[in-house]
Amino acid sequence: MISFELGVEDLADTRFAVSPLHETLMSLRVLQDPGLSAVHLPWRRAVLGRLDGIDTGLLMSLVARRRTIPDFLTPNPTQFAPAFEAELALVRRTPPARVRHDLVLAHAPDPLPAALAAAGTGAGATENEGHVAALRDAVCDLLQQYWELAVAPGWPQIRLVVEADMTYRARRLATGGARLLFADMHPNLRWDDGVLHISQMISRHRVAAAGRGLLLMPSVFAHKPAPPVSPDEAPSLVYPCRGTATLWAPTPPPAAEALVSLLGAPRARLLVLLAEPLPTVELARRLEVTPSAVSQHLQVLHATGLVARARQGRQVLYRRSALGDRLTP
């Protein structure tokens, strides 16, 4: 178990961030082991067809047998939503000694895989900084390629899902404090008397935040909470976010021509989607438009009796009415 001791000031400094680099590294776990998440199988199949010509041996070696990832590859974001390239630039500046330490720690008790042999700690390792630096740079170049091929094409949709989860969590924190914030985040998380406990971890340590706060990063690719490997790192937590199951949902079929002529294409597509109750943010994500644009169309559809709405907690869910069902093919 890993535990974070959070004082009053740490709770006041609990914050969220969107990290494309963290998400890219987390996606490697799913690529390595498809059994982690059936939800991502369509994504995985598509990505495997794009990876010809890149060093998948080195890429897969970044995730250890225990599914740990070296901490130097996932630095805490310095702003709310940094660009992938800005995060990768931080990794490129990691001192070779830190690279070696984090690779060994992530893979322990196993030896480093052959693809990472340049970071070995045997005799003469202190004179081997040039090789470790070259390995670091090769890994960064590889991650840039992988990001562009595997994650960047879906990043706008991924970011919408992640930010929707942040909105939900922020409301939980505002209405019920830390206990409510963590209550339904994941079964492995437990908040008790100022300490956040993360169970079913390979590591066993307790970290005092000591004024550093807690950084929370929702992830569509994480299958369980993922704190840093080393107890020396500032408290942070990547956790599975809500809404991931809808991420790779197929695009709804085009609305019938007559319905489009009657309502216009945007409202017709909304009506087709609303066979199930959905909030504005999710509708916007699926249609790849802004929530405000969706709200305008929903107001018209509701005023004409084609959709019904109901409040669930702090969300408003929309669904086709009986009249809307009769109009929809």
pLDDT digits (tens, 9 = 90+) for 34-73: 888 888 888 898 898 899 889 999 999 999 999 999 999 9
Considering the domain boundaries, does residue 249 fall inside one? no
Considering the domain boundaries, does residue 250 fall inside one? no
Residues 107 and 55 in one domain: yes
Residues 27 and 120 in one domain: yes
Count of domains forming the chain: 2
Domain boundary, last residue among 186, 212, 244: 244
Of the candidates 9, 5, 11, 8, the residue with the CA atom closest to the CA atom of residue 174 = 11
Residues 218 and 280 in one domain: no
Beta-carbon neighbour count of residue 102 at 10 Å?
23
Q: In which residue ranges of the chain is pLDDT below 70?
A: 120-127, 249-255, 312-313
Residues 118 and 6 in one domain: yes
Tens digits of residue pLDDT in 86-103: 999 999 999 999 999 999
pTM score, whole prediction = 0.75
Name the one residue in this structure whose structure tokens are 């922020």.
170
Considering the domain boundaries, does residue 210 fall inside one? yes
Residues 297 and 196 in one domain: no
Tell me what pLDDT residue 123 has: 44
**Is the C-alpha dihedral spanning 124, 92, 44, 229 positive or negative?**
positive
Domain boundary, last residue among 244, 266, 294: 244
Tens digits of residue pLDDT in 306-324: 999 887 667 788 998 988 8
- Domain with residue 302: its CATH number is 1.10.10.10
Residues 287 and 164 in one domain: no
**Is the C-alpha dihedral spanning 239, 212, 210, 21 positive or negative?**
positive
Tell me what pLDDT residue 107 has: 92
Domain boundary, last residue among 184, 211, 244: 244
Residues 197 and 318 in one domain: no
In the DSSP assignment, the letter for residue 226 is: B
295 lies in which domain range? 257-327
Residues 274 and 173 in one domain: no
Considering the domain boundaries, does residue 317 fall inside one? yes
Considering the domain boundaries, does residue 112 fall inside one? yes
Tell me what pLDDT residue 69 has: 94
Residues 319 and 170 in one domain: no
Considering the domain boundaries, does residue 202 fall inside one? yes
Residues 151 and 224 in one domain: yes
* Strand pairing class (195-198; 189-192): antiparallel
What DSSP string runs through 117-166? GGG--STTGGG-HHHHHHHHHHHHHHHHHHIIIIIGGGHHHHHHHHHHHH
Residues 215 and 311 in one domain: no
Residues 75 and 141 in one domain: yes
Of the candidates 299, 307, 243, 254, the residue with the CA atom closest to the CA atom of residue 277 = 307
